[in-house]
A and B are shown apart, each in its own frame.
Chain A
């Protein structure tokens, strides 16, 4: 049941995505029926605690899931011209995927430190992408890279491109990473917690930069984070995930001002805001995230849910239900149907 939230055709439409990891101990359903759309020029924020499957979802889009994981079901529809291609059906090593990666869909990974090869200069790694997708000569690619560096606000760009990643500060590294991601003017940018590993001041600068660049390059962004504050600043549309399932999704205002799902509410309660009085203890979500092998029956959130209805919530899995034109939630409290077992 695809949800439509705007009149425009989506750039990417994820439909009922399942990603499973088959391990010796059993199969882990890291992503379990996730659906959302990304429209051109829009920022979709995916939030959730670590291990909720947000990164895996975006890796699935790029077909970058390492064995033993694999896409077990669902569709990843990506629009090219007027047609949609189902990326879920493409072979990870296919020509099509390789052409998309870096050129159409780019990735800003989580840890800029480890995301660059330590034995190649940062510039060389960007030049490589340019030469590959834009068919530029080495010199032209180098000139482009210097430009890109300036664009992302790296001073002394000419010398910095010959630096190794470990010679750069965290902020510069992330800027360089952004430069690389944007090098081929992608239509979709996947930013996987781009600010987690860097300090707060730099974080703000990076977010500002991303916003500017989004305007400049007209790029759609999937923004993954566990930080609702960042989502508030960046996203147009929010997807809240828990244990591989979408709990709630909707425009950023609806999510922040009219959260429906108990999990969303709990998440929101846990962020400090200006309204919160100083020195109050922030309410944490009770309980711990269960082990992936130990997925609770019924609604995955029920063991930690304050509003849990014994019986129904503990045995049946609620399906995602559209509440309005753009907001949807999967919770029995909000009228979700039970998913077929």
Chain B
């Protein structure tokens, strides 16, 4: 037994000896089972981002007055053998309360299929297909896996499209603020002196201006004829303009500390150019840290987007984002009628949770002093 362990340990050691920093990080990261699982969740979400239409059962904007406020339709996989279906529903308006009331019709079932043909869509702007992950066998039949909203739009499909918007906002905003933060923070930390002072004051200024009015002002100042998509992109940029400061500070701190380290000094003595020192020597030492910090910043951006859209200041319908979907749930009264409209909130929580877990896992894994 001792021998086996020794052999195994030997194999381990050999690998460690040749492992690059990145491989080490990956090994350490792999040990966090929750983080690994969360990374899986995020990958799934980003697959949805790539092609929400494939996952959507129908056009997310398709309205039908007579299919408003349909509750969730539970998916059944077996009906005497593999034959997925959802219960058929019938609804009528209550003459007294004027509420649409839905009941399942036990005599009928709506059969559904996987990889079925439905409404055509373009994949990444490359080709057109009409294959959907899931859909009713009869294409004319609409199914509402997660219920429908007040205009009779399918929440499942809307969440898929909202995922695309919100996850992209998070990613793009954080990428931009990472670039800004690294460049400005790096400049500040590397050169020091007056440049540092100016950038530091700028950061303080940006940090002390409350975000909501900045947001209001900027989003109101956007060109008036922009479409919701353009506004959406602009909002992403704005989010990153506000969000880079924290990272900028961190990068500066790291630069300040690193500047004094021996190897940078050595590189300078060896006559390396400044840019080269930054890119070749300083950057790699905290790249992993930046990645970890960024993955923790994405959920913050997502929550910002959600909150702002919720206030009606961010992304606006007919564009779909998680915040826009949650705006429906803003109305307690709607919630009383249709609690399933809170589901997008759960999606937000899951995504943010996953980002946080992955971020923490990455941070732990990338910290060479962790044990």
B13 touches A294 (CB 8 A): yes
CB atoms of A293 and B9 under 8 A apart: yes
Shortest distance between the CB of A199 and any CB in chain B (Å): 20
A282 to chain B minimum Cβ distance, whole angstroms, is 26
Q: Which residues of chain A come closer than 8 Å to B194, judged between CB atoms?
A: none
> Contact: A26 with B2, CB < 8 Å?
no
Over the window 20-35 of chain B, the binary record of Cβ atoms lying under 8 Å from chain A Cβ atoms (1 yes, 0 no) is 0000000000010000
A25 to B10, CA, bound (A): 11
The listed residue with most A CB atoms (<10 A of its CB), out of B3, B8, B9, B16, is B9
* Residues in A whose Cβ lies below 8 Å from that of B13: 290-291, 293-294
Please tell me if A278 contacts chain B, counting CB pairs below 8 Å: no
The reply to whether A24 and B10 contact each other, CB–CB distance below 8 Å, is no
**Min CB–CB distance A317 → chain B (angstroms):** 9
Which of A25, A291, A294, A297 is within 8 Å of B2, CB to CB? A297
Q: Is B12 interfacial (CB 8 A cutoff)?
A: yes
Q: Is B94 an interface residue (CB 8 A)?
A: no
Whether A295 lies near B31 (C-beta < 8 A) is no
Least CB distance from B44 to A in Å reads 27
Please pick, from A25, A295, A341, the residue contacting B6 in the complex, using a CB distance under 8 A: A295
Q: In the complex, A24 Cα to B365 Cα: how many Å?
A: 14
A26 and B8 contact, CB distance less than 8 A: yes
- For chain A residues 1-58, which have a beta carbon within 8 Å of chain B? 24-27
Q: Determine if A26 and B31 form an interchain contact, defined as CB atoms under 8 angstroms apart.
A: no
User: Looking across the interface, which residue of chain A has its beta carbon closest to that of B3?
Assistant: A297
Give the number of chain A interface residues (Cβ < 8 Å). Answer: 12
Residues of A within 8 A of B12 (CB): 25-26, 293-294
B16:A297 contact, CB within 8 angstroms: no
> Which one of A24, A26, A27, A296 has the highest number of Cβ atoms from chain B below 10 Å of its Cβ?
A26
Contact yes or no, B31 A297, CB < 8 A:
no
Which residues of B have CB within 8 Å of A26? 5, 8-9, 12
Name the residue of chain A whose CB is nearest to the CB of B10: A294
List residues of A (270-321) whose CB comes within 8 Å of B's CBs.
Answer: 290-291, 293-297
- From 1 to 59 in chain B, residues with beta carbon under 8 angstroms from any chain A beta carbon are 2-3, 5-6, 8-10, 12-13, 16, 31
Say whether B2 contacts A341, CB under 8 Å.
Answer: yes
Least CB distance, B80 to chain A, in whole angstroms: 48
Q: How far is the CA of A296 from the CA of B9 in the complex (A)?
A: 10
| Docked complex Cα distance between A27 and B12 (Å) | 13
Contact with A along B246-263 (1 / 0, CB 8 A): 000000000000000000
C-alpha spacing A294/B14, complex, angstroms: 9
User: Contact: A295 with B9, CB < 8 Å?
Assistant: yes
Q: A27-B5, A294-B10, A295-B9 are in contact. List 4 more A-B contacts (CB 8 A).
A: A26-B12, A291-B9, A293-B12, A297-B3
B binding-site residues for A, Cβ under 8 Å? 2-3, 5-6, 8-10, 12-13, 16, 31
Of all A-B residue pairs in the complex, the 8 with the closest CB atoms, nearest first, are A293-B9, A294-B13, A291-B13, A294-B9, A297-B6, A294-B10, A293-B12, A24-B31
5 residue pairs from A and B, CB less than 8 Å apart: A24-B31, A291-B16, A294-B10, A294-B13, A297-B2
